[in-house]
Amino acid sequence: RYWSSLRVAGKAGFPDIVIIGPFGRFYGVEVKSGRDVQSDAQRQCEAEIRASGGVYIICRQLADVKEAFNNIY
């Protein structure tokens, strides 16, 4: 699992918000504003999270997170 292999929570690219959901599932939420885009480190971290069975959400507004969770559950 991703969180068990994570070196440091403050590493470059780590999501802004972390949620451990039902059954221990890892959710990483990256908050972006305006024209802000993902860095290379954030894209790499997203790939690691998804490859480990976690969920990665890019959020520009609260509705993005609500929609993502509604689609998951």
Q: Which two tokens stand for residue 41?
A: 């480190």
At residue 29, the pLDDT reads 93
At residue 71, the pLDDT reads 80
Q: Which two tokens stand for residue 62?
A: 């609260």
**pTM (2 decimals)?**
0.77
At residue 9, the pLDDT reads 61
At residue 52, the pLDDT reads 93
Q: Which residues of the chain have pLDDT under 50?
A: 1-5
At residue 21, the pLDDT reads 86
Q: Give the residue among 15, 67, 20, 12 at the shortest CA–CA distance from 4.
A: 20
At residue 69, the pLDDT reads 81
At residue 72, the pLDDT reads 75
